[in-house]
Amino acid sequence: MAVDSANARAVLGIESSCDETAAAVLDATGRVLAERLLSQRREHAPFGGVVPEIAARAHLAHLPGLVRETMEEAGLDYRDLAAVAATAGPGLIGGLIVGSHFAKGIALAAGCRFLAINHLEAHALTPRLPGLAGAAFPYLLLLVSGGHSQWVTVEGVGRYRLLGRTIDDAAGEAFDKVGKLLGLPWPGGPALERLAASGDPARFRFPRPLAGRPGCDFSFSGLKTAVAQAVAAFPEGALSRADAADIAASFQLAMVEVLADRARHAMALFTSRFPDPRLLVVSGGVAANNAVRAALGAVAAEAGFSLFAPPARLCTDNAVMVAWAGLERLRLGLEDGFDAPARPRWPLEELSG
């Protein structure tokens, strides 16, 4: 089939590191030609969290059809691809193997490049997608999801510096655990935010772990334990919906105040290295929380930063960001061999540009 020159350098992206099976095709400029995303939420919900084995099997079952549909919608043949980019880590090993090996197979058959994408790098480069913030390097990134909570200076493709991270739970994990304590469906974050809207945030005074301490690390396990103790203080069956709403609101306030405090420190650290550009980007599922966005917006403004949060569908796991990270790497002439491993643990700092 005839393709124009932009489509002739298209990139197929594949995401399968956790519980979302996703594929996307971008043209050479980064324009999204087609995308598909299948959440496995319903498969994992009865277990109250992601079951790795179920996730891997679901990726295996759904990925071939999903990729075929995405390519058809993009109107492309596999030979039109300049590269196939797949998340190779960090994440759940089964899903990483399924996605990255499927991508290698396509690249091998189509005779195009393969790119092993670091999932965190894909989140980090999202604000550079055409039509979003147009973020120029360097910028400060807060990544807050179910699996990660970290501050990163994004200095270039493959050039990242970790400023701080959680020393125990991730922020989304804390939302999920507190959601479970309150009897909310998994994942707890969105339901907890809705419940908190009708609650009194001043009724319970939960701790703000590490607030005011130097640096910008996080700790959330003490906060979660304090909520568990507050819930346990109610006799069996006595926790009303109004009580649960007050606990949710008080927890969310503690969370937001901790994030705001850590943000002040992170912005100061960033400014000491890069005095001029002042962009704070927040991404990951927790960035979908309106109270979190509002609080970060306020502290960013105080520090002379502007806050950018990608639209919610690009904050959470998706394949557009994987294809985009692939395109960014491709533009630098980078590619990976078919022996590139799937890496459950793959810190951003281990990437080299």
Which residues of the chain form contacts with ligand KG4 (CB under 6 A)?
18, 145-147, 172, 175-176, 187-190, 193, 284-286, 288-289, 316-317
Residues linked to residue 215 through DSSP beta bridges, in sequence order: none
Q: Pick out residues in 128-147 that bind Zn ion (CB under 5 A).
A: 145
For Zn ion, the closer of residues 145 and 153 by Cβ is: 145
Structure tokens given for 40:
């496995």
Please count the residues of the chain. 353
Strand 10-15 and strand 81-89: pairing?
parallel
For Zn ion, the closer of residues 25 and 287 by Cβ is: 287
Contact status: 173 vs Zn ion (CB under 5 A): no
Counting beta carbons within 10 angstroms of the beta carbon of residue 352, is it exposed (0 to 12), middle (13 to 18) or buried (19 or more)? exposed
For ligand KG4, the closer of residues 103 and 171 by Cβ is: 171
- Separation CA 310–CA 127 (nearest Å): 7
- Separation CA 96–CA 90 (nearest Å): 8
Among Zn ion, ligand KG4, none, what does residue 187 contact (CB within 5–8 Å per kind)? ligand KG4
Among ligand KG4, Zn ion, none, what does residue 289 contact (CB within 5–8 Å per kind)? ligand KG4
Contact status: 317 vs Zn ion (CB under 5 A): yes
For Zn ion, the closer of residues 7 and 87 by Cβ is: 87
Strand 306-308 and strand 279-283: pairing?
parallel
| Contact code string over 250-289 relative to Zn ion, x by CB under 5 A | ----------------------------------------
Rounded least distance, CB 307 to ligand KG4, Å: 16
Buried b (16+ CB within 10 A) or exposed e, 249-284: bbbbbbbbebbbbbbbbbbebbbeebeeebbbbbbb
Rounded least distance, CB 67 to ligand KG4, Å: 21
Q: Are 293 and 256 spatial neighbours (Cβ–Cβ below 8 Å)?
A: no
Among Zn ion, ligand KG4, none, what does residue 193 contact (CB within 5–8 Å per kind)? ligand KG4
Among ligand KG4, Zn ion, none, what does residue 70 contact (CB within 5–8 Å per kind)? none
Among Zn ion, ligand KG4, none, what does residue 80 contact (CB within 5–8 Å per kind)? none
Q: What is the DSSP string of 2-54?
A: ---TTGGGEEEEEE-SSSEEEEEEE-TT--EEEEEEEE-HHHHGGGTS--HHH
Provide the binding-site residues for Zn ion, judged by CB under 5 A: 145, 317
